[in-house]
């Protein structure tokens, strides 16, 4: 049995899969109509379905945090630093992590489960035997869907958080715009901006790649499906923590 | 759920369109975000350079603001150490704000207790010539925390002094104890006097002395009354009718008459003196004649002497040397 899964496992296991998936996602030749349809469905399931709900939840959380930061900074006489603190904490750190966790727990868990079932049932090998590349048609579209979902949710909610912060600080007056631009401009230094983009991309890739590799790493036994999902989720949360911690260290240490 | 059942699940309407919409949204968000950051960081603004030279750039970071009246008018672009060891802070000032900075503007670097250092510009006269591009200006330093060590040292010495002052064996406590003793004495029979003089006995002596002084003053009152009477009498004797003053006046009148007589006598004496002067002159003339006469007499005597000598020579038998004057 193990030797039957060897061809795919050999190609997909471990971190190499992330690079292979990324390269495949970037090559236009990988998108035949079938692959494009699967990718579109993945994007739809991972991003479109949860976009309104997640945006509302994230806006509510952001609003609470903004209120806390503003009122405590006012109480301590440090209101001049409230905007910078809010933008740094919310936009640069919390919202991307929150989006990645949300997509990971929802789509990542689903991907983990379906890939481990396909793996146990031998669907992937069957597809390969039938001349259909499972990497291109089943796995890479899921990675693309998760990455797009994480980036979309993160960036959109960062924008919403910025708008909420402006509203909370200055109301609907346009006269705070110059100060708001100046302070956010200081926060979004080149290192921070590029760091945010890379971090979000890594979150998006990790959210799909770690569940897939965990699913393919288990023996083809029905009872191992739960173990694969468990391992996948634990590894995903750890990986997200490591990525976040590394970027915090790069930014502030 | 859905993904692994995708082969059997019903087709989703416009799924590719929705995916493209989401991808477009991501692209738009990324593009908008990049443009926003570039705009917020002033990439699209025309700027001019201002170089501030400071002794110490601690607390200043790239991106820090240069403020004028509390409004940011510039942003620190670069900080480096110049060849002479001073910090060179390059500030980019947007052209729209550069009119606030003039050639006479003063720049300060202030450090508060909270937050980073602040660069501030002050312009006294906005009609002065505008600041040229690339101008170099020295930065004045104002540091709230710099004075803290000095303040702490001073406070410590002050506290030491206060501690010494409030120690149980301090001078202040001793003084207060003495004050308490004095105030206790003041509550005694003789009051403040007892407190000041160190005891009731001394106070009693003072009061006795005062009593004696009062008696003395009373007797002095009698003496002064007698003196007054004596003075009245003296006044009557001196200034009364027929008193000393009247007699003195008469005496002065008589003295005037005597003086007139004396003046007349003096005039007479003047005349006598004039006469005497004349007599003196005559006497002087007579004296001159006397001299001539004396000379003649001397000459005659010498002639007589020589004659006698001659006679003696010619009268050899007679050795009588007595000369018989004619």
Instruction: List, for residues A222-232, the tens digit of each pLDDT value.
Output: 888 999 999 99
Rg (CA), chain B: 65
Q: What is the pLDDT of residue B211?
A: 92
pLDDT over threshold 80, residue B188? no
Q: Do A182 and B29 touch (CB under 8 A)?
A: no
Q: Which residues of B touch A182 (CB under 8 A)?
A: 40, 65, 72
Higher pLDDT pick, A37 / B216: B216
- Write the residue in A80, A152, A182 that is nearest to B26 by C-beta: A152
Q: What contacts A83, CB < 8 A, 6 or more positions away?
A: A165, A169, A179, A180, A183, A184
pLDDT over threshold 70, residue A150? yes
The predicted-structure confidence for A120-149, as pLDDT tens digits, reads as follows 998 888 888 888 888 878 888 888 889 999
Cβ of B159: how many Cβ atoms within 10 Å?
10
Question: CA of A44: which chain B residue's CA is closest?
Answer: B19
Quickly state the pLDDT bin for A39 (edges 50, 70, 90): confident
Q: Do A114 and B4 touch (CB under 8 A)?
A: yes
Q: Which residues of A touch B16 (CB under 8 A)?
A: 36-37, 40
Q: What is the pLDDT of residue B27?
A: 94
Q: Do A38 and B23 touch (CB under 8 A)?
A: no
Q: What is the pLDDT of residue B30?
A: 93
- Write the residue in A44, A110, A188 that is nearest to B40 by C-beta: A188
Q: Do B26 and A185 touch (CB under 8 A)?
A: no
Q: Do A118 and B30 touch (CB under 8 A)?
A: no
**Least Cα separation, residue B10 to chain A (angstroms):** 12
Q: What is the pLDDT of residue B177?
A: 87
pLDDT over threshold 50, residue A59? yes
Q: Do A185 and B18 touch (CB under 8 A)?
A: no
Mean of all residue pLDDT scores within chain A: 87
The fraction of chain A above a pLDDT of 90, given in percent, is 51
Cβ of B46: how many Cβ atoms within 10 Å?
10
Least confident range from A44-48, B70-74, B315-319: namely: B315-319
Q: Which residues of A touch B15 (CB under 8 A)?
A: 37, 40-41, 44
- Write the residue in A113, A151, A189 that is nearest to B26 by C-beta: A151
- Write the residue in A78, A159, A189 that is nearest to B29 by C-beta: A159
Quickly state the pLDDT bin for A157 (edges 50, 70, 90): very high
Q: Measured between alpha carbons, how far is A175 from A37 in angstroms, rounded to an integer? A: 47
**Least Cα separation, residue B108 to chain A (angstroms):** 20
Q: Do A155 and B41 touch (CB under 8 A)?
A: no
Q: Do B37 and A159 touch (CB under 8 A)?
A: no
pLDDT over threshold 50, residue B6? no
Q: What is the 3-state secondary structure (H, E, C) of chain B?
A: CCHHHCCCCCCCCCHHHHHHHHHHHHHHHHHHHHHHHHHHCCCCCCEEEEEEEECCCCCCCCCCEEEECCEEEEEEEEEEECCCCCEEEEEEEEHHHHHHCECCCEEEEEECCCCCEEEEEECCCCCCCECCCCEEEEEEEEECCCCHHHHHHHHHHHHHHHHHHHCCCCHHHHHHHHHHHHHHHHCCCCHHHHHHHCCHHHHHHHHHHHHHHHHHHHHHHHHHHHHHHHHHHHHHHHHCCCCHHHHHHHHHHHHHHHHHHHHHHHHHHHHHHHHHHHHHHHHHHHHHHHHHHHHHHHHHHHHHHHHHHHHHHHCCCCCCCCCCCC
Q: Which residues of B touch A118 (CB under 8 A)?
A: 4
Quickly state the pLDDT bin for A10 (edges 50, 70, 90): very low
Q: What is the pLDDT of residue B1?
A: 40
CB-defined contacts A:B, below 8 A: 89
Q: Do A43 and B26 touch (CB under 8 A)?
A: no
Higher pLDDT pick, B112 / A107: A107
Q: Measured between alpha carbons, how far is A203 from B17 in angstroms, rounded to an integer? A: 25
The predicted-structure confidence for B154-163, as pLDDT tens digits, reads as follows 888 899 988 8
- Write the residue in A44, A184, A189 that is nearest to B12 by C-beta: A44
Check: CB of residue B29 under 8 Å from CB of residue A95. no
**Least Cα separation, residue A5 to chain B (angstroms):** 20
Q: Measured between alpha carbons, how far is A96 from A89 in angstroms, rounded to an integer? A: 10
Q: What is the pLDDT of residue B318?
A: 58
The predicted-structure confidence for B267-309, as pLDDT tens digits, reads as follows 999 999 999 999 989 988 888 888 889 899 999 999 999 988 8
pLDDT over threshold 90, residue A101? yes
Question: CA of B23: which chain A residue's CA is closest?
Answer: A148
The predicted-structure confidence for A161-180, as pLDDT tens digits, reads as follows 999 999 999 999 998 898 89
Question: CA of B1: which chain A residue's CA is closest?
Answer: A110
Q: What is the mean pLDDT of residues B12-30?
A: 90
Q: What is the pLDDT of residue B206?
A: 86
Q: What is the pLDDT of residue A221?
A: 87
Q: What is the mean pLDDT of residues B240-260?
A: 88
Q: Measured between alpha carbons, how far is B20 from A148 in angstroms, rounded to an integer? A: 11
Q: Measured between alpha carbons, how far is B233 from B237 in angstroms, rounded to an integer? A: 6
Q: Measured between alpha carbons, how far is A146 from A153 in angstroms, rounded to an integer? A: 10
**Least Cα separation, residue B92 to chain A (angstroms):** 13
Rounded to 5 degrees, φ, ψ at A101 are -65, -40
Quickly state the pLDDT bin for B140 (edges 50, 70, 90): confident
pLDDT over threshold 80, residue A16? no
The fraction of chain B above a pLDDT of 90, given in percent, is 30
pLDDT over threshold 70, residue A237? yes
Q: Measured between alpha carbons, how far is A237 from A233 in angstroms, rounded to an integer? A: 6
Q: Do B3 and A43 touch (CB under 8 A)?
A: no
Q: Measured between alpha carbons, how far is B48 from B310 in angstroms, rounded to an integer? A: 150
B16 close contact with A: CB closer than 8 A: yes
Q: Which residues pair with B121 in a beta bridge?
A: B68, B107
Q: Which residues of B touch A51 (CB under 8 A)?
A: 22
- Write the residue in B19, B32, B40 that is nearest to A181 by C-beta: B40
Q: What is the pLDDT of residue A6?
A: 44
Q: Which residues of A touch B63 (CB under 8 A)?
A: 186, 189
Cβ of B280: how many Cβ atoms within 10 Å?
11
**Of the candidates B79, B86, B90, which has an alpha carbon nearest to the alpha carbon of residue B54?**
B86
pLDDT over threshold 60, residue B4? no
pLDDT over threshold 50, residue B116? yes
End-to-end CA distance of chain A: 49
pLDDT over threshold 70, residue B147? no
Least confident range from B16-25, B183-192, B198-207: namely: B183-192
B24 close contact with A: CB closer than 8 A: no
Quickly state the pLDDT bin for A63 (edges 50, 70, 90): very high
Question: CA of B43: which chain A residue's CA is closest?
Answer: A185
Q: What is the pLDDT of residue B214?
A: 93
Q: What is the pLDDT of residue A65?
A: 94
Q: Measured between alpha carbons, how far is A143 from A207 in angstroms, rounded to an integer? A: 8
Q: What is the mean pLDDT of residues B38-67?
A: 87
pLDDT over threshold 90, residue A104? yes
pLDDT over threshold 70, residue A8? no
Q: What is the pLDDT of residue B61?
A: 84
Q: What are the boundaries of each domain within chain B? A: 1-44, 47-146, 151-187, 243-314
Q: What contacts A9, CB < 8 A, 6 or more positions away?
A: A216, A217
Q: What is the 3-state secondary structure (H, E, C) of chain A?
A: CHHHHHHHHHHHCCCHHHHHHHHHHHCHHHCCHHHHHHHHHHHHHHHHCCHHHHHHHHHHHHHHHHHHHHHHHHHCCCHHHHHHHHHHHHHHHHHHHHHHHHHHHHHHHHHHHHHHHHHHHCHHHHHHHCCCCHHHHHHHHHHHHHHHHHHHHHHHHHHHHHHHHHHHHHCCCHHHHHHHHHHHHHHCCHHHHHHHHHHHHHHHHHHHHHHHHHHHHCCCCCCHHHHHHHHHHHHHHHHHHHHHHHHHHHHHC
Mean of all residue pLDDT scores within chain B: 85
**Least Cα separation, residue A115 to chain B (angstroms):** 8
């Amino acid at each position: 049995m193990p030797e039957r899964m060897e061809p795919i496992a050999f190609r997909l296991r471990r971190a190499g899969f992330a690079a292979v998936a990324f390269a495949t996602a970037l090559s236009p030749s990988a998108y035949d109509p079938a692959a494009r349809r699967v990718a579109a469905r993945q994007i739809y399931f991972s991003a479109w379905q949860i976009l309104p709900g997640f945006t509302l939840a994230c806006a509510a959380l952001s609003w609470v945090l903004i209120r806390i930061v503003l009122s405590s900074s006012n109480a301590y006489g440090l209101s001049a630093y409230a905007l910078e603190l809010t933008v740094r904490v919310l936009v640069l750190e919390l919202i991307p992590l929150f989006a990645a966790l949300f997509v990971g727990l929802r789509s990542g868990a689903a991907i983990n489960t379906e890939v481990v079932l396909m793996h146990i049932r031998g669907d992937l090998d069957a597809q390969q035997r039938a001349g259909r590349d499972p990497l291109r048609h089943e796995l890479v579209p899921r990675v693309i869907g998760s990455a797009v979902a994480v980036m979309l949710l993160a960036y959109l909610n960062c924008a919403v958080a910025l708008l909420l912060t402006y509203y909370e600080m200055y109301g609907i007056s346009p006269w705070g715009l110059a100060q708001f631009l100046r302070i956010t401009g200081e926060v979004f230094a080149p290192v921070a901006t590029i760091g945010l983009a890379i971090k979000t991309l890594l979150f998006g890739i990790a959210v799909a790649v770690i569940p897939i590799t965990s699913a393919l790493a288990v023996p083809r036994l029905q009872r191992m499906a739960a173990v694969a999902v468990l391992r996948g989720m634990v590894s995903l949360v750890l990986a997200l923590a490591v990525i976040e911690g590394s970027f915090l260290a790069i930014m502030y240490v | 759920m859905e993904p692994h059942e995708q082969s059997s699940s019903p087709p989703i309407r416009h799924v590719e369109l929705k995916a493209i919409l989401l991808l477009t949204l991501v692209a738009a968000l990324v593009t908008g975000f990049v443009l926003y950051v570039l705009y917020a960081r002033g990439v699209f603004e025309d700027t001019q350079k201002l170089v501030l030279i400071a002794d110490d750039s601690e607390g200043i970071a790239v991106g820090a603001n240069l403020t004028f009246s509390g409004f940011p008018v510039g942003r620190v672009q670069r900080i480096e150490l110049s060849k002479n060891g001073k910090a060179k802070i390059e500030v980019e000032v947007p052209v729209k704000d550069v009119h606030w900075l003039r050639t006479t503007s003063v720049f300060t670097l202030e450090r508060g207790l909270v937050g980073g250092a602040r660069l501030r510009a002050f312009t006294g006269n906005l009609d002065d010539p505008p600041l040229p591009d690339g101008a170099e200006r020295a930065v004045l330093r104002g540091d709230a925390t710099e004075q803290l060590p000095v303040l702490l040292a001073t406070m410590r010495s002050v506290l030491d002094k206060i501690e010494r002052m409030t120690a149980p064996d301090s001078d202040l406590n001793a003084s207060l104890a003495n004050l308490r003793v004095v105030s206790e004495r003041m509550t005694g029979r003789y009051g403040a006097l007892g407190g000041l003089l160190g005891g009731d006995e001394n106070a009693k002596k003072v009061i006795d002395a005062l009593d004696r002084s009062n008696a003395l003053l009373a007797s002095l009152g009698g003496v002064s009354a007698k003196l007054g009477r004596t003075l009245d009498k003296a006044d009557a004797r001196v200034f009364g009718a027929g008193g000393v003053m009247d007699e003195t006046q008469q005496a002065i009148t008589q003295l005037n008459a005597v003086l007139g007589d004396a003046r007349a006598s003096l005039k007479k004496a003047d005349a006598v003196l004039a006469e005497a002067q004349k007599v003196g002159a005559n006497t002087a003339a007579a004296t001159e004649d006397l001299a001539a006469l004396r000379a003649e007499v001397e000459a005659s005597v010498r002639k007589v002497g020589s004659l006698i000598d001659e006679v003696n020579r010619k009268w050899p038998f007679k050795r009588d040397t007595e000369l018989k004057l004619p």
